[in-house]
Structure 1
Amino acid sequence: MNAHAFTLSGARLRACASGALHWPERGLVVVSDLHLGRAERMARRGGPLLPPYETDDTLARLAADLAALRPAHVIALGDSFDDRRAAEGLSEPQRARLAALLDGRVWDWVEGNHDPGPLALPGTHRAEVRLGPLTFRHIARPDATAEVSGHYHPKARLALGAARVARACFLIDGARVILPAYGTYTGGLATEAEALAGLMAPDAIAVLTGTRAHAIPMPRRAARRPPTRRISP
């Protein structure tokens, strides 16, 4: 599987092109912000009507990652469902597919801001997970180190000729990694946003997801130049 290898506090990790984080030595896969049931939740609350296929698509991609990486342990890093009712609204085929992914694996559901974790499903429900040198939580803490988080759905805005495109990305520096949203139909926050720029070190990188994992310097807002003062002759 195409991935960018890096080390965080001695842990040798892989940022996969799919948006999953892989820790081979621990047999661990981490995904964040699945937001299963998003289309249903938006329709229920009177929002725009989206094709109701995002749950199936997200579960299919997750199944492909788990089949390829064969982890013994999975951490779902918060906002696994778009809200509590979305967790209860899975169809029987979707519930069976998710149960098959959980079967035979240690599975930690981390609490997010959209949901408290799908309490009716198997697995362990935690506020955060500590494993080796790393702490896994939904929302980054500014003073934390050795931290793996999600929540922000980071996206890098790139110039492509005359157009600009946005790509979901990991953000990585010496203290933390912030995962992209794994779920279909999830928006994103530009890496130039103050919330992300303030969390990440000046030398942070963005690892773009998609067909391949590609590392670039984290895009940031250009510094504003002070106005030029004219000196009268």
Structure 2
Amino acid sequence: MNVFDFTLAGAKLQALGSGALYWPDQRLLCVSDLHFGKAERAARHGGAQLPPYETHDTLTRLEADLAATGAATVVCLGDTFDDMTALHELTEAEALWIARLQAGRRWVWIEGNHDAGPIQLGGTHLAELPLPPLAFRHIARPGASGEVSGHYHPKARLRTRGQSLSRPCFLLDSDRLILPAYGTFTGGLRSDNTALSDLMRPEALAILTGAIPRPIPMPR
């Protein structure tokens, strides 16, 4: 399993190429912004007709990360569903799949801005999860320390061979970690957007997702 090892607030963590975070000492896997049901929601509102397989694809990758890490605890950092209607549009097969992944594990659903209410699936629903020295929440708070959050779907823009490419990434500084979106059809916010560049310290890194997670100075 290819990972990037780093430390936040004294906790030894691993960024996975999939966009998941693993905390080996706690056997904890954290993912953010799965946005299950995005294709269904887009169709419901007359938007782009996206292929209706994103929930299956996201669950397949999550199952692989659970198998690779052996995680005993899973934290979903909010916006697990694209909206609360999407929760009720899960197929029976998808709901059973989630139940199988939950079996024998502690599973925590963190409230997001897209799913701001109890998720009627197994596990625990929380506004945020303090787990010293870290705190898990959906949206970063200025001034926080040891914070793990999501929400922004950060991406880093790179220039290579005269082309501009964009890659989902973790953003890391001495105070916080912001996870990329884990969901298949999620968009992203470039790291040079002021919402992110003003939040992250000057020395921040962007850890690029992919087969081999790779850190670079955060593009600003």
Q: CA–CA distance in 2 between the matches of 1:117 and 1:21?
A: 24
Q: CA–CA distance in 2 between the matches of 1:120 and 1:173?
A: 35
Structure 1 residue 117: Cα displacement: 5.1
Contact 1:136 1:149 in 2 (8 A): yes
Name the counterpart of 2:24.
24
Name the counterpart of 1:184.
184
Which ranges in structure 1 are unaligned for 5 or more consecutive residues?
A: 221-233
Q: Deviations over 1:52-92 (max 9, x none)?
A: 01000000000000011011100000000000010111111
Alignment of 1:134-145 (within 5 A): 134-145=134-145
Count of aligned positions: 220
Which has the larger displacement, 157-166 or 61-70?
157-166
Q: CA–CA distance in 2 between the matches of 1:79 and 1:7?
A: 26
Q: CA–CA distance in 2 between the matches of 1:55 and 1:131?
A: 29
Correspondence 1:116 to 2:109: no
Name the counterpart of 1:211.
211
Correspondence 1:167 to 2:167: yes
Q: CA–CA distance in 1 between the matches of 2:209 and 2:117?
A: 26
TM-score by length of 2: 0.98
1:118–1:164 distance in 2 versus 1, CA, 3 Å: farther
Alignment of 1:30-41 (within 5 A): 30-41=30-41
Which ranges in structure 2 are unaligned for 5 or more consecutive residues?
A: none
Alignment of 1:120-159 (within 5 A): 120-159=120-159
Calculate percent identity across the aligned residue pairs. 59
One-letter amino acid of the structure 2 residue matched with residue 72 of structure 1: A
Alignment of 1:185-204 (within 5 A): 185-204=185-204
Equivalent position SS for 1:61: helix
Q: Deviations over 1:18-56 (max 9, x none)?
A: 100000000100000000010000110111110001000
Report runs of 4+ in structure 1 exceeding 6 Å deviation.
none
Equivalent position SS for 1:43: helix
Q: CA–CA distance in 2 between the matches of 1:206 and 1:178?
A: 10
Structure 1 residue 112: Cα displacement: 0.2
TM-score by length of 1: 0.93
Q: CA–CA distance in 2 between the matches of 1:178 and 1:169?
A: 9
Contact 1:102 1:123 in 2 (8 A): yes
Structure 1 residue 118: Cα displacement: 5.5
Q: CA–CA distance in 1 between the matches of 2:210 and 2:86?
A: 27
RMSD over aligned CA atoms reads 0.8
Structure 1 residue 6: Cα displacement: 0.6
